[in-house]
Amino acid sequence: MPADQALALLRDRRLVVLTGAGLSTDSGIPDYRGPGAPGRTPMTYQEFVSGAAARRRYWARSHLGWGRMRTAHPNPGHHAVAGLDPTLLITQNVDGLHERAGSRDVVALHGRIADVICLDCRCVTSRADLQRRLDDLNPGWAAAHADVAVRPDGDVDLETTDGFVVPDCDTCGGVLKPHVVFFGENVPRDRVDRCYAAVDALNGGAGTDGALLVAGSSLTVMSGLRFVRRAARNGTPVVIVNRGATRGDALATYKVETGCSEFLTELTAATAVA
Please enumerate, by residue number, every residue annotated as part of a binding site for Zn(2+).
Answer: 118, 121, 169, 172
Q: Hey, what amino acid is at 49?
A: V
DSSP reduced 3-state for 106: strand
Specify whether the CB–CB gap between 114 and 126 falls below 8 A.
yes
Pairing of strands 14-19, 88-91: parallel
CB atoms inside a 10 Å sphere around CB 121: 11
| Bind-site residues | 118, 121, 169, 172
Q: SS3 letters for 74-100?
A: CCHHHHHHHHHCCCEEEECCCCCHHHH
Q: Which of 78, 98, 110, 179 is catalytic?
A: 110
**CA 83 to mean position of chain CA atoms:** 19
Determine whether 98 is an active site residue.
Answer: no
**90-112 burial code (b ≥16 CB/10 A, e <16):** bbbbbbbbbbebebeebbbbbbb
Which among 224, 254, 247 has a CA at the least distance from the CA of 21? Answer: 224
- Phi, psi dihedral angles at 176 (to 5 degrees): -95, 140
Residues 6+ apart with CB under 8 A from 199: 16, 212, 227, 230, 231, 234, 236
Q: How far apart are CA 84 and CA 103, in angstroms?
A: 9
**Which residues carry out catalysis?**
110
